[in-house]
Amino acid sequence: MTSDRDVLAARAKRLAVPIVEDMASEGHSALVVEIDAQHYAFPLVDVRRALVLGPLTELPHVPAIVLGLGTADGDVLAVFDGRVWAGGSRRPSADRTPVLILGPAQAPLALAVDRFAGSLALPASTATTGWLQQVTEDGILIVRVEALLEDPAFSVAKGTVDDHHQED
């Protein structure tokens, strides 16, 4: 008689996907997300986590790009709106928000996206400045995460709140 553990192990073996050695010319891949009907690729070396957060705690008197606070693994994160970053309108409140956590553990960037859309083998990179690394033939924008992390729009520091609402 087969145990539940054996059945689950057999299922896991069938569902397991082998790691592809020949990913791209540089051997790197990216997570593709959709933000306001546009596809963006974030190199996996820069993605700490991709997860769905529960309801966010909205904050008063913050820039529109700040959706609110969320928690992941016991850490409280300021979640930024990918739609506002991409030049669109602010996303509505939701019970579940797909989020990419990017950058180093000591200063992560939590970016809300519309949905996770797959993966992409990255082409050889080109030298660029700014957040846009390059555009694929399919119109997917490859993001240079280190440039995002330096963008002052993703900072909730002194001077970024609506100053006339602050109390003395």
Over residues 150-161, the pLDDT tens digits come to 999 888 664 444
Which residue in 60, 98, 104, 106 sits closest to 79, CA to CA? 98
Q: Is residue 165 part of a domain?
A: no
Look at the chain and report how many structural domains it folds into. Answer: 1
Q: Torsions phi, psi of 67, nearest 5?
A: -75, -40
Contact (Cβ atoms closer than 8 angstroms) between residue 42 and residue 143: yes
Q: Give the torsion sign (CA, 28, 34, 37, 38).
A: negative
* Integer angstrom CA distances of residue 30 from 93, 103, 137, 163, 167: 27, 14, 15, 39, 44
**13 lies in a domain?**
no
The boundaries of the domain holding residue 143 are 24-160
Contact 43, 30 (CB under 8 A): yes
HSE on the CB side for 70, CA within 13 Å?
Answer: 26
Model's pTM, two decimal places? 0.76
> Could you report the per-residue pLDDT of 9-66, keeping only the tens digit for each?
776 666 654 444 333 445 589 999 999 999 999 999 999 999 999 999 999 999 999 9
The CATH number of residue 120's host domain is 2.40.50.180
For 71, residues 6+ apart whose C-beta sits below 8 A from its C-beta are 53, 77
Q: Write the CA distances from 143 to 5, 72, 81, integer angstroms.
A: 42, 23, 16
Task: Identify whether 166 is part of a domain.
Answer: no
| Residue 128 CB contacts under 8 Å (≥ 6 apart), including other chains | 134, 144
Residue 166, pLDDT > 70, answer no
Q: Binning pLDDT at 50, 70 and 90, where does residue 123 land?
A: confident
Within a domain: 8: no
Domain-located, residue 12 = no
